[in-house]
Amino acid sequence: MSGLIVAMDGPSGSGKSSASRGVARALGLRYLDTGAMYRAVTWWMLQMEIDLDDPAAIAARSGEPALELNTDPDFPGVTLDGVRVDGPIRYPEVTRAVSAVSAVPEVRSRLVALQRELIEVALKEGGIVVEGRDIGTVVAPQAPVKVYLTASEEARAMRRSAELAGSTVAAQRVELARRDTLDSTRKTDPLAMAADAVELDTTALNLDEVIAEVLRLVKERA
């Protein structure tokens, strides 16, 4: 595949990350997890003890953290101010705060610009699979393949609880509902399915089946 962008959007627990990496591997493309970028900025804000209830305070510091992304699907990672932060950005306190930080327009504009730069670089190397919540609508609306992954509330909660040690399905059900509301109702670049995206319900599908379906769509549309 040459010069291809595959946009993979959807809420937490829909299976975006594993499927996106699998598709990128299968096609020999780069892989970008845009959610990790918002998590990295959120972690930085927490370390700097920024008041996350104050959008103006977040905006004022949003240009400071230096982000670097590894887009190899076998070794994806985030470096923040020269330090790998793949583990810390998955901490529960980051998960609880990331929706508030990602809703700040100044944060989004900076990261969207960086995401587009990474996409342009990847296109020169063949292409990229990009996952997030606004890829098909904002970051790369020109992508020829747009997939919006969904799953039942129960399936999403079960997946998330399996990923997070010590968490329960009930707790994740509450957390996912909270994040869905915040992400879909924010004023800037809300979670939404692009008009020309294909909706893929992953509730009853295993990972290999999800990847196979996306590959079928790539063959059909690209």
Contacts of 4 (CB under 8 A, 6+ apart): 27, 29, 126, 127, 128, 144, 145, 218, 222
Q: Which residue has the higher pLDDT, 57 or 160?
A: 57
The answer to whether the beta carbons of residues 23 and 129 sit under 8 Å apart is yes
Q: Give the pLDDT confidence of 1-42 residue by residue, as tens digits.
A: 568 999 999 998 898 999 999 999 999 999 999 999 999 999
Q: Give the pLDDT confidence of 183-222 residue by residue, as tens digits.
A: 888 888 888 899 999 999 999 999 999 999 999 999 998 8
Q: Binding site for ATP: which residues?
A: 10-18
Q: Which residue has the higher pLDDT, 127 or 95?
A: 127
The share of the chain scoring above pLDDT 70, in percent, equals 99
pLDDT in the model for residue 2:
61
Please say if the pLDDT value at position 166 is more than 80: no
**Burial (CB count <10 Å: 0-12, 13-18, 19+), residue 193:** middle
Q: Binding site: which residues?
A: 10-18
pLDDT in the model for residue 12:
85
- Residue 178 main-chain phi, psi, to 5 deg: -65, -45
Sheet containing strand 83-84, strands side by side: 67-70, 77-80, 83-84
Q: Which residue has the higher pLDDT, 125 or 32?
A: 32
Distance in angstroms (rounded) separating the CA atoms of residues 155 and 15: 10
Domains of the chain in start order, with CATH, are: 4-221 (3.40.50.300)
Task: DSSP for 146-166, please give it.
Answer: EEEEE--HHHHHHHHHHHSTT
pLDDT in the model for residue 222:
81
